[in-house]
Amino acid sequence: MTGSSMKLVFVVARARNGIIGRDGALPWRLPSELKRFKSTTWGRPMIMGRKTFQSIGRPLPGRDTIVVTRDAGFAAQGVDVARAIDEAVRMGELRARARGVDEIMVVGGAEIYAALADRADRIVLTEVNLAPQGDAVFATPDPAVWRRVSTETVEPAPGDEAAYAVHVYERLTPNPPPH
Ligand SMILES: NC(=O)c1ccc[n+]([C@@H]2O[C@H](COP(=O)([O-])OP(=O)(O)OC[C@H]3O[C@@H](n4cnc5c(N)ncnc54)[C@H](OP(=O)(O)O)[C@@H]3O)[C@@H](O)[C@H]2O)c1
């Protein structure tokens, strides 16, 4: 949770077995899901870990990219660099305000989701109907903490490797007001 009505929104795609990544990349090919990712994040700031940024390879258009790294020498064109999670959230708030939106999108990877898990307000979770090998995971949202508010099932579009469902979860007990 962040200041005022600002929301931290996780956007994540996970397989049935919880895997979200393998060898620094996505372990599936789902072009229609990438299109959804684009529209879900469009016009908003996105916080991502340095490894996820490097796997994408460039700032994505129409959004602000905030890269979290402990590497003091890290620099990349067209992105904001945060040296700590709190700094990334503060940058996200500033960027969101400047754009007139009230959501900061947290787009991974596993380390960044884990670091912000207690502060997330909403999770947009794509559940991919695959069970691949991998090295990055995202846990099933704990029903004691998260309430599923919607589900949309999606059949594979041309080029998609699998069907998937998109679930939206809201935190049962809203996070405390801003510090
Ligand atoms: N399926 C999905 O929805 C999805 C979404 C995103 C990513 N992924 C996948 O997930 C994998 C990458 O995830 P990952 O967990 O390995 O890496 P990551 O979270 O993308 O990045 C980890 C890096 O972030 C920096 N970092 C993490 N915590 C920090 C903190 N508290 N303060 C400052 N910097 C911090 C560190 O960078 P430095 O080492 O530079 O210090 C760390 O090495 C890839 O396979 C990717 O394709 C999947």
Give residue-wise pLDDT tens across range 112-171. 999 999 999 999 999 999 999 999 999 999 999 999 999 999 999 999 999 999 999 999
- 48-96 pLDDT, tens digit per residue, is 999 999 999 999 999 999 999 999 999 999 999 999 999 999 999 999 9
- CA 93 and chain centroid, separation: 16
With respect to residue 93, please indicate whether it lies within any of the assigned structural domains.
yes
CB proximity list for 13: less than 8 A, separation 6 or greater: 20, 26, 30, 33, 37, 125, 126, 127, 128, 164
Is residue 14 domain-resident?
A: yes
In a domain, 134, yes or no: yes
Number of domains in the chain: 1
What CATH number corresponds to the domain at position 19?
3.40.430.10
CA 44 – CA 147 distance, rounded (Å): 24
Which of 56, 70, 167 to mutate to test ligand 1, by most ligand atoms within 8 A of the CB atom?
70
- For the entire predicted model, the pTM comes to 0.96
Residue 176 lies inside a defined structural domain of this protein: no
Domain containing 90 equals 7-171
**177 falls within a domain:** no
Residue of 20, 91, 135 with the most ligand 1 atoms within 8 Å of its CB, for mutation: 20
Q: Is 178 inside any structural domain? A: no
Q: Which two tokens stand for residue 92?
A: 């996200």
| Residue 166 structure tokens | 């998109």
Nearest CA to ligand 1 atom 12: 109
